[in-house]
Amino acid sequence: MAKVTGMTITQIVEDALRAYQPAPRPIRPGVLIEKGGLLVIPKTKAEITQSQLNAELDEIRSGAR
């Protein structure tokens, strides 16, 4: 590709990384999801208790998710 495009391999890799869009995570009702650097509660009719919120935060902080 580098020879065909006249770009360096580094430029090709950088261009590919800029275009990369990771697949969105499936939303499970009643759990926290990541939006950028924020943890948000998706719009659902389900109520989330404080203990559920704390459990979700602990799971995310531990790297289990």
Per residue in 1-54, pLDDT (tens digit) is 888 989 999 999 999 999 998 877 666 666 777 777 787 877 766 677 888 888
Q: Which residues pair with 33 in a beta bridge?
A: 40
CA distance 31 to 48: 8
Domain that holds residue 27: 2-62
C-beta atoms surrounding 32 within 10 Å: 20
pTM across the whole model: 0.37
Which tens digits make up the pLDDT trace of 35-44? 777 878 777 6
What confidence score (pLDDT) does residue 35 get? Answer: 79
Domain count, the chain: 1
CA distance 12 to 14: 5
C-beta atoms surrounding 33 within 10 Å: 16
Both tokens assigned to 54: 């704390």
